[in-house]
């Protein structure tokens, strides 16, 4: 593979990135100085002017070629994602499939969604009103390490097809994945200057990005999201904030047990639980709780931990020492407060420095940290509930509201529970992939899980500003002889009543 870092501007300093599987150095990344962030933004803005003038169909064609390049070079992408994140290969493949899905979707819908739309005028026939969308210009992307392809390239796709340039600060831990995805986009026909990648400490390079752009898409933790939102607010630019979660799963007494257990395993342990949509709380109906718990424990015992660049392991490593420390703290704290470890609960340094067993906790008391705080690791707690009402109340009793999952053989019962849950996505008889993969539907959180919506037409239009162009014909708005004063008032009153009657008809 060519040196991916050759595309980076260098301040002379480097950031050391270690492979989670072994703890060994993977790369010394050149970092970007703040003034170089400004240079990158200026270069991107020049490229954006020409890009915005191209036909949407031509931009969509780049996405379709990018789709093919990603699928043709899957193994290379999987190697890089695994080397940087330490996740299992199957979980890395979810990211590749996701990018192909997102490219295809936006290539299909962009032209129609971005074309001018007729709107009702103030007076029928007299006012012709059209809404047009313009790209905001330069979109800032600040993305985390846990799903580096999905949450980096995945958000660049709608921004680029809408006619924008992108100034991207990926997490230093996972910059190579971004650089490879960008290389594939350039091979597919994207002008290189349009997607600028800057590297460095989030507390320095992140604010420098926010200061340069016309809109920012931030994915990461809630505390950092607040800082980004405040800074964007001071500049009066839009901020899409995709933040943390403490996602709940509800298992009703009529759920298919085998499927619910398989869903819980996938939901709680994909990418070793370092997934924003990850299930960290399971509420099980009392009559089926014993069966669910014993099946879940048995299924977790079967999971294979491993550090291989192949499909032989089910679960990979945590991303680094900070994640391992947090997971350990949450488990030790829960146990000290009286929780029971049903399975797992130990670090596995003999496999790799940051491996931790998939862990199921029972009897977690409300004052334990993992009862309400996001763990962001392979730890899930099981709680028994008397009925659907208690399950909904417990699931909603959280500062977060990102994702939820409901398991029942009655679709109407599950849908009724879903509509009572305060979560941006609810998956019925699935953990997270059904809603995430439905890229035609908006996706995002409520409460402290964020403010933005990616995916769908909403995710495309968020990178644009709308302009209303209204043309008045035949008769002007306002007083005009002989309709002046009282006559004008009477004429308008009659017109407004007629409009209401027309709407009723």
Just list the catalytic residues: 242, 276
CB of 43 to ligand NAP, least distance (A): 21
Query: Torsions phi, psi of 363, nearest 5?
Result: 50, 45
Residue whose C-alpha is closest to residue 182's, from 306, 340, 73, 312: 73
Binding positions for ligand NAP, 401-420, rule CB under 6 A = 402
Asked if 294 contacts 262 with a C-beta cutoff of 8 angstroms, the reply is: no
Rounded Cα–Cα distance for residues 51 and 462 (Å): 18
Q: Which of 155, 171, 240, 280 is in the footprint of ligand NAP by CB under 6 A?
A: 171
For residue 459, state whether it binds ligand NAP (rule: CB under 6 A). Answer: no
Round to whole Å and give the CA distance between 242 and 276. 9
Min separation Cβ 402 and ligand NAP, Å: 6
How many C-beta atoms surround the C-beta of residue 34 within 10 A?
A: 16
**Is 202 a residue that touches ligand NAP (CB under 6 A)?**
yes
Burial 144-172 (b: 16+ CB within 10 A, else e): bbbbbbbbbbbbbbbbbbbbbbbbbbbbb
Minimum Å gap between C-beta 178 and ligand NAP is 10
Minimum CB distance to ligand NAP, residue 200 (Å) = 7
Residue length of the chain:
505
**Shortest Å distance, C-beta 171 to ligand NAP:** 4
Q: Which long-range contacts (CB under 8 A, 24 or more apart) does 364-367 make?
A: 364/334, 364/337, 364/339, 365/337, 365/338, 365/339, 367/337
Residues 149-168 that bind ligand NAP (CB under 6 A): 151
Phi, psi (deg, nearest 5) at residue 367: -85, -5
How is residue 6 annotated by DSSP? Answer: G
Report the distance separating Cα 330 and Cα 138, nearest Å.
40
Stretch that binds ligand NAP, among 74-82, 157-165, 213-221, 330-338 (CB under 6 A): 213-221
- In whole angstroms, the minimum distance from the beta carbon of 114 to ligand NAP comes to 24
In the complex, least distance from residue 231 CB atom to ligand NAP, rounded to whole angstroms: 7
C-beta closer to ligand NAP: residue 344 or 445: 445
Binding flag, residue 94, ligand NAP (CB under 6 A) = no
Q: Judged by CB under 6 A, which stretch of 80-88, 116-124, 240-248, 256-264 contacts ligand NAP?
A: 240-248
Tell me whether residue 97 or residue 126 sits nearer to ligand NAP (CB atom). Answer: 97
Binding of residue 437 to ligand NAP (CB under 6 A): no
Distances (CA, A) of 84 to 26, 91, 318: 8, 13, 11
Window 18 to 57, contacts with ligand NAP (CB under 6 A): none
When asked if residue 84 is in the footprint of ligand NAP (CB under 6 A), the reply is no
Q: Can you tell me the distance from the alpha carbon of 348 to that of 346, in angstroms, rounded to the nearest whole number?
A: 6
Footprint of ligand NAP on 117-146 (CB under 6 A): 142-146
Given 450, 456, 459, 463, the residue binding ligand NAP (CB under 6 A):
450
By CB under 6 A, the count of residues binding ligand NAP is 31
Between helix 74-85 and helix 175-187 the angle, nearest 10°, is 160
* Binding status of residue 102 toward ligand NAP by CB under 6 A: no
| Footprint on residues 214-233 left by ligand NAP (CB under 6 A) | 219-221, 224, 227-228
Any idea what the Cα angle at residue 262 is, between residues 339 and 70, rounded to 5°? 115
Residue 212 as a binder of ligand NAP (CB under 6 A): the answer is no
Q: Which residues bind ligand NAP (CB under 6 A)?
A: 142-147, 151, 169, 171-172, 201-203, 206-207, 219-221, 224, 227-228, 242-245, 276, 374, 376, 402, 445, 450
């Amino acid at each position: 593979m060519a040196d991916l870092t050759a595309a980076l501007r260098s301040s002379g300093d480097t950031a050391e990135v270690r492979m989670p599987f072994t703890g060994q150095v993977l790369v010394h990344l050149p970092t970007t100085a703040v003034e170089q962030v400004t240079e990158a933004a200026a270069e991107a803005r020049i490229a954006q002017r020409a890009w915005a003038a191209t036909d949407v169909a031509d931009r969509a064609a780049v996405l379709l070629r990018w789709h093919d390049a990603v699928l043709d070079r899957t193994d290379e992408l999987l190697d890089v994602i695994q080397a940087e994140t330490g996740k299992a290969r199957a979980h890395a493949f979810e990211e590749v499939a996701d990018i192909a899905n997102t490219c295809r979707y936006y290539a299909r819908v962009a032209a129609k969604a971005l074309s001018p739309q007729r709107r009702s005028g103030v007076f029928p026939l007299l006012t012709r009103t059209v809404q047009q969308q313009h790209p905001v210009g330069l979109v800032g992307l600040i993305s985390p390490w846990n799903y580096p392809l999905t949450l980096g390239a995945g958000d660049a796709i709608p921004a680029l097809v809408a006619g924008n340039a992108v100034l991207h600060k990926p997490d230093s831990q996972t910059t190579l994945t971004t650089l490879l995805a960008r290389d594939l986009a350039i091979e597919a026909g994207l002008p290189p200057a349009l997607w600028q990648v800057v590297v460095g400490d989030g507390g320095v390079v992140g604010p420098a990005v926010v200061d340069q752009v016309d809109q920012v898409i931030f994915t990461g933790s809630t505390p950092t999201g607040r800082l980004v939102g405040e800074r964007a607010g001071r500049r009066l630019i839009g901020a899409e904030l995709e933040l943390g979660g403490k996602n709940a799963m509800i298992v009703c007494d009529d759920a298919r047990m085998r499927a619910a257990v398989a869903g819980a395993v996938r939901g709680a342990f994909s990418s070793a639980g370092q997934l924003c949509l990850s299930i960290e709380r399971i509420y099980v109906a009392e009559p089926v709780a014993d069966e669910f718990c014993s099946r879940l424990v048995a299924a977790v015992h079967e999971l294979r931990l491993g550090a291989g660049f192949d499909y032989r392991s089910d679960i990979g490593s945590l991303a680094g020492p900070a994640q391992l420390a947090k997971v350990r703290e949450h488990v030790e704290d829960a146990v000290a407060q009286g929780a029971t470890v049903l399975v797992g609960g130990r670090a596995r340094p003999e496999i790799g420095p940051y491996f931790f067993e998939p862990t199921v906790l029972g009897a977690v008391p409300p004052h334990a940290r993992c009862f309400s705080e996001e763990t962001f690791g392979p730890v899930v707690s099981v709680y028994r509930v008397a009925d659907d009402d208690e399950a909904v109340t417990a699931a909603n009793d959280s500062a977060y509201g990102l994702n939820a999952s409901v398991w029942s053989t009655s679709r109407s019962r599950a849908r009724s529970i879903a509509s009572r849950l305060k979560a941006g996505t609810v998956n019925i008889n699935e953990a997270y992939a059904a809603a995430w993969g439905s890229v035609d539907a908006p996706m995002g959180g409520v409460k402290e899980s964020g403010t933005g919506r990616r995916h769908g037409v909403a995710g495309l239009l968020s990178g644009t500003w709308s302009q209303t162009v209204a043309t008045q014909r035949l008769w002007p708005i306002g007083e005009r002889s002989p309709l002046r004063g009282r006559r004008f008032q009477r004429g308008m009153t009659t017109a407004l009543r007629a409009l209401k009657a027309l709407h009723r008809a």
